[in-house]
């Protein structure tokens, strides 16, 4: 699904990287041992946003959060199948035929007996309830994730065994089990030390309208949210604690984030039976290196052990570099990612779908794949990954054709009236030239090359494109504020069925919602709502096809391609790359005793 809560899944912007000056800091270069200590140095292309799984919307935050906070079940990076992590087993599932939630489903979990927080107290179903209450608090900045929990009605903790609890949903939902499995649980004692949420019942928050009214009048809800949303709760060492094998040590802005393995961690020794509890290294150092050239230098100089999101041409060059070949394994598994160009559907220049289709005809996607990715990508026609069984391969990719673009623009009323080569149109009484500001990340080589190519091709159809480079964090904020005309980005997905609501439903056209192009379409809303509750796979797949046909017709995005991953991993470690983002999992890095010197 695209940008769901699964594993704190968030926004993935591969075109945009925060720009900072890189230095090696005080950490020892790669070689990955300090005496008997095993250390993994992993490159991050951008600063994480925050270390809180309920608030983070960055894939770089996710990479770190997954080492600090655990879910009930987690995807195995190799099989892509969810396996027990905090829970002892997959949930007991029961269809509800009577009672207040008749027609719904219940999911019963039991947490490992040994599972405990850092203060020694047991992890129980009450912590799960607290986590849901925090997420559903309307004042908490977790709005991007709340739509995926609309189906939850209540959670009941077993009074005789608090580690056992049951989640009740009032209707069948295609992702209900997957979403519940993925909740990264927080300790109530650490994140609500004053007990502000204790007097609030979960059932008061599972109805969004009632929750919104309660949040306006309940001072405890407001006070909790203010503290929970504060930067220090997601940044300061003494405020961050979870059930994972690693504890947060420090965050040096623009340099690195350091985690250290806990002594006497409750899950030690359980990985043989529960593989997603594996935690091999003693220390994890995430080196923040936004600049691609600097990151390559760090790789070749032995400053990092693993690096993903390598520029395609750079990746090809690494394959012929003897020194790199001796020290690193290079991997290119498929990725659950698609690249796109967003168009602001509210903007008067882009409100007409014929103009948006014309813009799509001006992007030479095949040339981008060939020249910028060396063929390591697959074209896409819509918002679902080509590997999904309901991907609509009957819709042809939109061809590069300035002539078709010009025809569509003429049909939409754009013409060159003054002979300057740029089309114009009267919009609300003002003669408006077809000038487009295209925002890109200043630290992405691909974004710049893609935008320059688009700028050149667009001119052929009378469209004047101005490039606006900016820092990644500023770009994303502008996207949230709808302060743009076009921008480049990408969405990450997980290997589950897609729920399009967050990206495409009109209710998600909010500053915190994922519908950042302001795509408003009643038929799309209806299809999305039907998809969410249709459990019959054949019937649901037909709805997916109809939805893709509508998106194809309306063209809210320019859909580009799904790239193959490009990852380098030091031969110091025995580890495999994964199709699951980010393509590597540092907790699995086992020291190779016969690694090259």
Same structural domain, 174 and 115: yes
Q: How many CB atoms lie within 10 A of CB 302?
A: 15
Give how many domains the chain has, as a whole number.
3
Which CATH number fits the domain that encloses residue 465?
3.10.105.10
Q: List, for residues 126-144, the tens digit of each pLDDT value.
A: 999 999 999 999 999 998 8
Residue 4 falls inside a structural domain: no
Residue 316 falls inside a structural domain: yes
Same structural domain, 64 and 75: no
DSSP state of 91: P
**Is 0.85 surpassed by the pTM of this model?**
no
Q: List, for residues 147-205, the tens digit of each pLDDT value.
A: 889 899 999 999 999 999 999 998 888 989 999 999 999 999 999 999 999 999 999 99
Q: Which residues of the chain have pLDDT under 50?
A: 1-28, 30-33, 594-597
Q: Which residue range forms the structural domain that includes residue 578?
A: 13-68+244-333+567-597
Same structural domain, 357 and 487: yes
Last residue of a domain, one of 168, 202, 231: 231
Which CATH number fits the domain that encloses residue 173?
3.90.76.10
Per-residue pLDDT at 35: 54
| Long-range contacts, 214-223 (Cβ 8 Å, 24+) | 215/137, 215/138, 215/139, 220/196, 221/137, 221/138, 221/139, 221/196, 221/197, 222/139, 223/194, 223/196
Same structural domain, 163 and 212: yes
Same structural domain, 348 and 494: yes
Same structural domain, 170 and 211: yes
- Which candidate, 18, 1, 116, places its Cα nearest to that of 60? 18
Same structural domain, 221 and 286: no
Per-residue pLDDT at 21: 30
Per-residue pLDDT at 3: 35
Residue 355: asked if its preceding bond is cis (omega within 30°), the reply is no
Same structural domain, 292 and 416: no
Per-residue pLDDT at 30: 46
Same structural domain, 22 and 40: yes
Residue 3 falls inside a structural domain: no
Same structural domain, 48 and 84: no
Which CATH number fits the domain that encloses residue 42?
3.40.190.10
Same structural domain, 182 and 109: yes
- Joined together, the tokens standing for residue 375 give 């063929």
- Residues 193, 199, 201, 207, Cα dihedral to 10°: -90
Per-residue pLDDT at 79: 87
Bridge partners, residue 165, by sequence: 109, 157
Same structural domain, 469 and 552: yes
């Amino acid at each position: 699904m695209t940008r769901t809560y699964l594993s704190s899944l968030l926004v993935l912007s591969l075109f945009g990287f925060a720009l900072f000056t890189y230095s090696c800091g005080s950490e020892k270069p790669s070689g990955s041992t300090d005496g008997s200590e095993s250390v993994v140095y992993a490159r991050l292309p951008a600063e994480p946003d925050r270390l809180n799984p309920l608030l983070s919307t960055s894939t770089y935050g996710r990479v770190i959060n997954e080492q600090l906070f655990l879910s009930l079940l987690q995807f195995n990076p190799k099989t892509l199948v969810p396996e027990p992590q905090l829970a002892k087993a997959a949930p007991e599932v029961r269809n509800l035929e009577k009672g207040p939630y008749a027609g719904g489903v219940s999911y019963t979990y039991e947490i490992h007996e040994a599972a405990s927080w850092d203060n020694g107290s047991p992890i129980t179903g009450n912590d799960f309830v607290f986590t849901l209450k925090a997420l559903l608090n309307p004042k908490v900045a977790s709005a991007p994730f709340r739509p995926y929990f609309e189906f939850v009605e209540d959670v009941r903790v077993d009074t005789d065994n608090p580690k056992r609890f049951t989640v009740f949903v009032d209707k069948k939902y295609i992702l209900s089990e997957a979403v519940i499995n993925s909740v990264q649980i927080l300790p109530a004692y650490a994140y609500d030390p004053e007990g502000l949420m204790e007097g609030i019942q979960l059932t008061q928050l599972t109805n969004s309208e009632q929750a919104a009214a309660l949040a306006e009048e309940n001072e405890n809800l407001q006070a909790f949210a203010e503290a929970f949303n504060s930067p220090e709760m997601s940044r300061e060492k003494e405020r961050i604690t979870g059930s994972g094998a690693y504890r947060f040590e420090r965050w040096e802005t623009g340099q690195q984030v350091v985690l250290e393995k806990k002594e006497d961690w409750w899950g030690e020794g359980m990985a043989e039976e529960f593989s997603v509890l594996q935690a091999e290294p003693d220390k994890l150092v995430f080196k923040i290196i936004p600049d691609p050239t600097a990151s390559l230098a760090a790789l070749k100089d032995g400053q990092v052990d693993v690096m993903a999101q390598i520029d395609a041409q750079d990746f090809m060059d690494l394959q012929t570099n003897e020194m790199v070949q001796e020290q690193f394994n290079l991997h290119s598994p498929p990725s659950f990612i698609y690249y796109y160009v967003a168009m602001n559907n509210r903007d008067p220049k882009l409100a007409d779908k014929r103009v948006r289709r014309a813009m799509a005809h001006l992007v030479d996607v095949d040339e981008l794949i060939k020249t910028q990715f060396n063929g390591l990508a697959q074209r896409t026609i819509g918002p679902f990954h080509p590997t999904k069984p309901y991907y609509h391969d009957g819709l042809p990719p939109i061809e590069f054709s300035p002539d078709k673009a010009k025809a569509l623009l003429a049909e939409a009323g754009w013409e060159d009236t003054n002979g300057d080569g740029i089309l114009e149109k009267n919009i609300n009484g003002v003669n408006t030239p077809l000038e487009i500001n295209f925002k890109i990340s200043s630290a992405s080589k691909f974004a710049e090359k893609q935008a320059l190519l688009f700028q050149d091709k667009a001119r052929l159809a009378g469209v004047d494109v101005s490039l606006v480079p900016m820092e990644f964090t500023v770009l994303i904020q502008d996207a949230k504020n709808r302060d743009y005309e076009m921008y480049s980005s990408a969405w990450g997905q997980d290997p589950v069925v897609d729920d399009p609501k967050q990206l495409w439903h009109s209710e998600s056209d909010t500053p915190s919602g994922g519908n950042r192009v302001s795509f408003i379409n009643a038929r799309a809303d209806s299809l999305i709502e039907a998809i969410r509750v249709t459990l019959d796979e054949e019937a649901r797949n037909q709805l997916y096809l109809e939805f893709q046909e509508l998106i194809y017709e309306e063209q809210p995005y320019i859909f580009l391609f799904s790239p193959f991953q490009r990852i380098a991993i030091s031969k110091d470690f025995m580890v495999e790359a994964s199709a699951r983002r980010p393509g590597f999992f540092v907790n699995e890095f086992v020291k190779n005793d016969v690694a090259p010197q």
